[in-house]
Amino acid sequence: EAGVTQSPTHLIKTRGQQATLRCSPISGHTSVYWYQQALGLGLQFLLWYDEGEERNRGNFPPRFSGRQFPNYSSELNVNALELEDSALYLCASSRLAEGTAALHFGNGTRLTVT
C-alpha cells in the first residue's frame, strides 16, 4: 500500500508570493489533515478535510486555505507569504473522521520563504 505522498519536497518562495502544496492520502482514507511544524514550535494543526468538506481549521489567518478533491487528494495554499511561514508542512490521512484512528503522515514539504 502506497503511503501518503506530498509534493514538492522542497519549495523556495519570496515574501509576498503564493505557495501551493499537494497531498495524496492513502487509498481508502477520506480524511486529510494539514500541520505546520516550525522550528521549536512542535506541530500546529492547520486544516482538516473529510469527504471534500473543510471540517475544522486551526488558529491560522485566512491566507492559509485549502481544498480536498473528489479523489480525496488535497491542496494547501498559502497566500501573501511571510518569512515566518517557513516551516515543514505535513499532511496526514486517516480512514475515519472520528478520533480513534491513527494518522498516517507524509514526509512533508519544506517551505522556505526568503
Partner 1 sequence: SQQGEEDPQALSIQEGENATMNCSYKTSINNLQWYRQNSGRGLVHLILIRSNEREKHSGRLRVTLDTSKKSSSLLITASRAADTASYFCATRESGGGADGLTFGKGTHLIIQP
Q: In the complex, which residues of this chain contact partner 1 (CB under 8 A)?
A: 4, 33, 35, 40-43, 45, 48, 55-56, 58-59, 88, 90, 92, 98-100, 102-108, 110
Residue 45 beta carbon to partner 1: minimum distance, rounded to whole angstroms? 5
Length of the chain: 114
Closest approach of partner 1 to the CB of residue 10, in Å: 11
Alpha-carbon distance 49 to 55, whole Å?
5
Q: Which is nearer to partner 1, 16 or 52 (CB)?
A: 52
CB nearer to partner 1: pick between 33 and 78: 33
Q: Which is nearer to partner 1, 40 or 70 (CB)?
A: 40
Distance CA 71, CA 91 (A): 16
Residues 74, 34 contacting (CB under 8 angstroms):
yes
**Shortest distance, position 71 Cβ to partner 1, whole Å:** 21
